[in-house]
């Protein structure tokens, strides 16, 4: 959030200066013709156009922020000497510059830059006090008044923009924080129920198994324990994954993965899940190409996403089919999971990938879940360089799609270690064959 605020503020500052410098050139040529000042403002305009483009495209905001800060201070000093020193508009511009630094910098860097600025003003004071001849005067008092008031209007306009944007950003963050707090409160209330229910089932049916010798009943109770244990495991895994995603600690260990084999394994798991949920009337379709396809990716994470989507499809489908598969599309592999379940209402589309959100109509039927699976799946797909989307018709079913690059390499330390390990293994095989 802070980086987005800084990026937007830098973009707006550069854009304002791109507009102001040419206008200042025209004004200065009218009230006090001089080509040196015109050349200065032309160069400044070009520089800030480049910086504006970099603000939009570059990820190195810190470097751009420092360059903008230094250039602004340099141009203010230049303007001080060519606009009658303290008698011109530059005192107001210095105040504006200090406000810009407060918004864009923080902690130690802010103190250092503020100290440099105050020292800079002190030096300019002594120069103007002892060496008045160095300061270039206006051609007339009227020219000075025009420049001062134009500079004042400019400073007031920019201060208004900074203040409004800071206030807007603060309110936006406050709303997001309040909403996040409400979601977390709702999540905690929901998760306590979601954890307690399978735990009670596991404890209860474990006791019943010990009290009966009937093999059929023991098998039935065992399936219930297994089902609830799986649900409990899934909840804890999703909670841990969210923690890793939001702290930026999720890592991927890619390997060469046979996609056909992965989906065939997923089909067996889906059939078992239907059995555990007493939904044997659901037909599971695994649709894979005749030829084999391999993807260099983290198997566990891709399997996790597919399991989440297939499990959701089974959960929200009472009868009909659940189909899943993949197909190569240009430079991507497109995966899909389709069901003939209850579908999603259009007004709930925006909630689908939000964390802690549950969109089923609980008044009609209670579907257990913590509202984490789709959020985690979306984040994993994005971290793997792909994208995910869905289509749905309420009452007829839902189709989820996601695509991943055919060749996906991760530059993390673990990935490098994995590649080196494979190289060493291949070298050992070569040495053995010699």
Q: Which tens digits make up the pLDDT trace of 374-400?
A: 888 999 999 888 999 999 999 899 999
Round the average pLDDT of the chain to a whole number and report it.
80
Q: Are residues 190 and 48 in the same domain?
A: no
- What total of structural domains would you count in the chain? 3
138 domain residue, yes or no: yes
| Confidence bin at 362 (pLDDT 50/70/90) | very low
Q: What is the CATH number of the domain that holds 343?
A: 3.30.565.10
In the prediction, which pLDDT does 28 show?
67
Q: Are residues 311 and 408 in the same domain?
A: yes
Q: Are residues 181 and 275 in the same domain?
A: no
Q: Are residues 18 and 164 in the same domain?
A: yes
In the prediction, which pLDDT does 414 show?
42
**Sequence-ordered strand ranges (E) for 317-380:** 320-329, 332-339
| Confidence bin at 363 (pLDDT 50/70/90) | very low
At 385, is the secondary structure helix, strand, or coil?
Answer: coil
Domain boundary among 171, 190, 210: 171
Nearest in space to 276 (alpha carbons), one of 334, 227, 341: 227
| 117-131, 211-225, 291-305: least confident range | 211-225
In the predicted model, is pLDDT for residue 35 greater than 80?
Answer: no
In the predicted model, is pLDDT for residue 324 greater than 50?
Answer: yes
Q: What is the CATH number of the domain that holds 207?
A: 1.10.287.130
The Cα 94–Cα 117 span in angstroms is 8
pLDDT digits (tens, 9 = 90+) for 333-356: 999 999 999 998 888 888 888 776
In the prediction, which pLDDT does 267 show?
93
121 domain residue, yes or no: yes
Q: Who wins on pLDDT, 119 or 197?
A: 119
In the predicted model, is pLDDT for residue 282 greater than 80?
Answer: yes
Q: Are residues 206 and 282 in the same domain?
A: no
The first and second tokens of residue 57, run together, are: 């495209």
In the prediction, which pLDDT does 181 show?
75
In the prediction, which pLDDT does 260 show?
93
The Cα 85–Cα 415 span in angstroms is 59
In the prediction, which pLDDT does 325 show?
94
| Domain encompassing residue 238 | 176-246
Nearest in space to 341 (alpha carbons), one of 364, 366, 312: 312
In the predicted model, is pLDDT for residue 419 greater than 50?
Answer: no
Please answer whether residues 106 and 11 qualify as being in contact, where contact means their C-beta atoms are separated by less than 8 angstroms. Answer: no
| 68-82, 186-200, 293-307, 315-329: least confident range | 186-200
In the prediction, which pLDDT does 415 show?
41
| Confidence bin at 422 (pLDDT 50/70/90) | very low
Q: Are residues 279 and 135 in the same domain?
A: no
| Confidence bin at 2 (pLDDT 50/70/90) | low
Dihedral over alpha carbons 8, 11, 13, 19 (to 10 degrees): -140
Please answer whether residues 348 and 359 qualify as being in contact, where contact means their C-beta atoms are separated by less than 8 angstroms. Answer: yes
Q: What is the mean pLDDT of residues 240-248?
A: 75
| Confidence bin at 370 (pLDDT 50/70/90) | low
351 domain residue, yes or no: yes
Burial of 411: CB neighbours in 10 Å, binned 0-12, 13-18, 19+:
exposed
Please answer whether residues 104 and 65 qualify as being in contact, where contact means their C-beta atoms are separated by less than 8 angstroms. Answer: yes
Please answer whether residues 317 and 339 qualify as being in contact, where contact means their C-beta atoms are separated by less than 8 angstroms. Answer: yes
429 domain residue, yes or no: no
In the predicted model, is pLDDT for residue 7 greater than 50?
Answer: yes
86 domain residue, yes or no: yes
In the prediction, which pLDDT does 397 show?
92
In the prediction, which pLDDT does 429 show?
43
Q: Are residues 16 and 99 in the same domain?
A: yes
Q: How many CA atoms lie within 13 A of 342 on its CB side?
A: 16
Q: Are residues 139 and 260 in the same domain?
A: no
275 domain residue, yes or no: yes
Q: Who wins on pLDDT, 379 or 38?
A: 379
Q: What is the mean pLDDT of residues 260-270?
A: 92
62 domain residue, yes or no: yes
In the prediction, which pLDDT does 141 show?
80
Q: Who wins on pLDDT, 32 or 180?
A: 180
At 164, is the secondary structure helix, strand, or coil?
Answer: helix
In the predicted model, is pLDDT for residue 360 greater than 60?
Answer: no
424 domain residue, yes or no: no
Domain boundary among 125, 141, 171: 171
| Confidence bin at 432 (pLDDT 50/70/90) | very low
Q: Are residues 211 and 283 in the same domain?
A: no
Nearest in space to 273 (alpha carbons), one of 306, 295, 247: 306
Q: Are residues 364 and 224 in the same domain?
A: no
Q: Are residues 213 and 356 in the same domain?
A: no
| 224-228, 306-310, 359-363, 368-372: least confident range | 359-363
In the prediction, which pLDDT does 190 show?
64
Q: Are residues 282 and 307 in the same domain?
A: yes
In the prediction, which pLDDT does 411 show?
41
Domain boundary among 196, 218, 246: 246
Q: Who wins on pLDDT, 327 or 230?
A: 327
In the prediction, which pLDDT does 338 show?
95
């Amino acid at each position: 959030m802070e980086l987005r605020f800084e990026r937007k503020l830098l973009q707006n500052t550069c854009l304002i200066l791109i507009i102001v410098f040419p206008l200042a050139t025209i004004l200065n040529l009218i009230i006090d013709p001089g080509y040196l000042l015109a050349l200065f403002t032309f160069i400044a305009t070009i520089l800030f156009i480049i910086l504006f483009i970099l603000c939009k495209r570059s990820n190195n905001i810190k470097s751009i922020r420092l360059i903008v800060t230094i250039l602004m201070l340099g141009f203010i000093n230049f303007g001080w000497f060519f606009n009658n020193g303290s008698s011109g508009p530059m005192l107001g511009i210095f105040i504006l510059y200090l406000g810009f630094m407060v918004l864009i910098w923080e902690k130690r860097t802010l103190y250092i830059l503020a100290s440099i600025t105050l020292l800079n003003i002190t030096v300019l004071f002594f120069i103007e006090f002892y060496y008045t001849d160095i300061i270039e005067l206006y051609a007339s008092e009227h020219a000075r008044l025009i420049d001062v008031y134009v500079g004042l209007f400019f400073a007031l306009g920019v201060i208004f923009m900074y203040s409004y944007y800071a206030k807007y950003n603060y309110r936006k963050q406050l709303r997001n924080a309040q909403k996040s707090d409400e979601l977390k409160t709702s999540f905690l209330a929901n998760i306590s129920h979601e954890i307690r229910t399978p735990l009670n089932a596991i404890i209860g049916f474990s006791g019943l198994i010990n009290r009966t010798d009937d093999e059929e009943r023991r098998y039935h109770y065992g399936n219930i324990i297994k089902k609830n244990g799986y649900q409990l495991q899934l909840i804890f895994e999703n909670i841990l994954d969210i923690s890793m995603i939001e702290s930026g600690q999720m890592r991927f260990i890619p390997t060469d993965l046979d996609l056909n084999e992965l989906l065939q394994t997923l089909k067996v798991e889906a059939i078992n899940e239907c059995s555990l949920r007493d939904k044997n009337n659901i037909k599971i379709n695994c649709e894979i190409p005749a030829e084999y396809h391999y993807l260099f990716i983290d198997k566990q994470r891709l399997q996790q996403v597919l399991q989440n989507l297939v499990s959701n499809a089974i959960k929200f489908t009472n009868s009909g089919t659940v189909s899943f598969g993949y197909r190569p599309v240009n430079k991507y592999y497109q995966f899909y999971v389709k069901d003939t379940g209850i579908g999603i209402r259009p007004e709930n589309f925006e909630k689908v990938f939000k964390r802690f959100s549950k969109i089923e109509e609980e008044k009609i039927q209670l579907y257990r879940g913590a509202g984490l699976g789709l959020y985690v799946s979306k984040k994993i797909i994005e971290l793997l360089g792909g994208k995910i989307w869905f289509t749905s018709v309420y009452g007829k079913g839902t189709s989820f799609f996601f695509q991943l690059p055919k060749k996906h390499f991760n530059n993390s330390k673990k990935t490098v270690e994995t590649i080196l390990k494979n190289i060493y293994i291949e070298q050992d095989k070569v040495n053995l064959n010699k």
